[in-house]
Amino acid sequence: MNTKYNCKALSSFSSCSNCKIPSIVGLSLPNWVLELSIDAMETFQVRHDDVYVNTYPKSGTHWMLEIVGLILNDGYPERINRTAWSSCIEMIDLGINKIPKTRKEELANPMIMTPFLDVVERAPSPRVMQTHLPWNLLPPDILQRAKVVYVARNPKDVVNSFFNFLGHTRAFGNASYDQVVKAFIHQEYNFRYGSWFDHVMAAWELRDEDNILFMFYEDIQKEPVKSIEKVAEFLGRPLSEETLQRVLEKSSFKGMTKTYREAKEKATKNGEADFTVLDVMKKGTSGQWKERFTVALNEDFDEWFGKKMKDTDIRFDFE
């Protein structure tokens, strides 16, 4: 592949002389994604019992990971092997690295760029892995050998969650909320993982393939039982009523918060790598964009969304 994806300085809305413009139009990746891991996807050994959770960032990745893990382990979070969970397959090994929040921290404690792919390759089967890579960068035989659960979320909540997650870091510099939303719409600067529309539509076009399950974040929220049963059927692991209720309870926001807190406490006590290294859980609700979008910003967004979606049959719930 030999394309240059990685920005060696932390991505921001200011110019970066070290940023490499990828050959795939409109795609930029954060600095903790390794170019060598992207290149390795072409020959990555996919196992027949692999399960991939593929999403555009901030679309319910860890939620679906938990649901899948619980289904495969009869609803018991303590039985889940989380070896391949602390990072996406394309990232550095975040489980053993402290992410710097300031330039001073970055200089004092430079990140060791260890491929998380090395961890994934050694992980025992069945592997449950997360990735934000667009479809054309995933292993070419992934749908012939593995199962993929793709989760899509309405783009207003996606960009709102992006701002919640990175808005106070150098990733967005001093950009205002409106500037971040407009950058998301127009793919300005280096918005991470490129176009939301392209990412989602590539998976949507494959939705009828046997080994991909396309899910909507909002549907999982509104009909969790039906959604869990759908994932379980896709994985070939039908659930008893008792197990279903355990999965439902443990994959709720309250249940996951408890699981992650206990895992973090255990990792700290034992000096182990912590799969909860990123503060990925916020409120777990939809519609928060309404608290921030101005009338003008909403009109701009709806105009963009309407143009992008006019020739598609995919529908999103913004409530």
* Joined tokens for residue 180: 């971040």
pLDDT digits 0-9 by tens, 296-315? 999 999 999 999 999 999 99
Listed in order, strand segments (DSSP E) in the chain are 51-55, 128-131, 147-152, 212-216
List the one residue out of 181, 206, 217 whose CA is nearest residue 62: 217
Q: Return d(Cα 63, Cα 79) in angstroms, integer.
A: 17
Q: Return d(Cα 98, Cα 100) in angstroms, integer.
A: 6
When the pLDDT of each residue in the chain is averaged and rounded to a whole number, the result is: 84
Q: Is a pLDDT exceeding 70 seen at residue 278?
A: no
| pLDDT computed for residue 25 by the predictor | 42
* DSSP conformational letter for 136: G
Instruction: Please classify residue 165 by burial: count the beta carbons closer than 10 Å to its beta carbon, then call 0-12 exposed, 13-18 middle and 19+ buried.
Output: middle
Instruction: Count other Cβ atoms within 10 Å, centred on residue 84.
Output: 23
CB 59 within 8 A of CB 65: no
| pLDDT computed for residue 246 by the predictor | 98
The average pLDDT across 189-202 equals 83
Residue 171: which pLDDT band, with cuts at 50, 70 and 90?
low
CATH superfamily of 40-309: P-loop containing nucleotide triphosphate hydrolases (3.40.50.300)
Strands 51-55 and 147-152: what pairing? parallel
Instruction: Count other Cβ atoms within 10 Å, centred on residue 224.
Output: 15
Question: Which residues partner with 215 through β-bridges?
Answer: 151
Domain boundaries, the chain: 40-309
| pLDDT computed for residue 10 by the predictor | 30
* Joined tokens for residue 176: 């205002």
Residue 18: which pLDDT band, with cuts at 50, 70 and 90?
very low
Residue 125: partners with Cβ closer than 8 Å, 6 or more residues away: 47, 49, 50
Residue 194: which pLDDT band, with cuts at 50, 70 and 90?
confident
Q: Which of 132, 168, 186, 199 is catalytic?
A: 132
* Joined tokens for residue 161: 């969650």
Question: Which residues partner with 152 through β-bridges?
Answer: 216
The average pLDDT across 248-275 equals 84
| pLDDT computed for residue 231 by the predictor | 98
Q: Is a pLDDT exceeding 80 seen at residue 142?
A: yes
The average pLDDT across 134-150 equals 96
CA distances to 100, 154, 184, 243 from 56, rounded to whole Å, are: 23, 11, 12, 29
132 is catalytic: yes
pLDDT digits 0-9 by tens, 289-298? 999 999 999 9
- Label each residue of 75-134 as H, E or C: CCHHHCCCCCCCCCCCEECHHHCCCCCCHHHHHHCCCCCCEHHHHHHHCCCCCEEEECCC
* Joined tokens for residue 193: 């993982």
Residue 66: partners with Cβ closer than 8 Å, 6 or more residues away: 77, 250, 251, 256, 259
Question: Which residues partner with 160 through β-bridges?
Answer: none
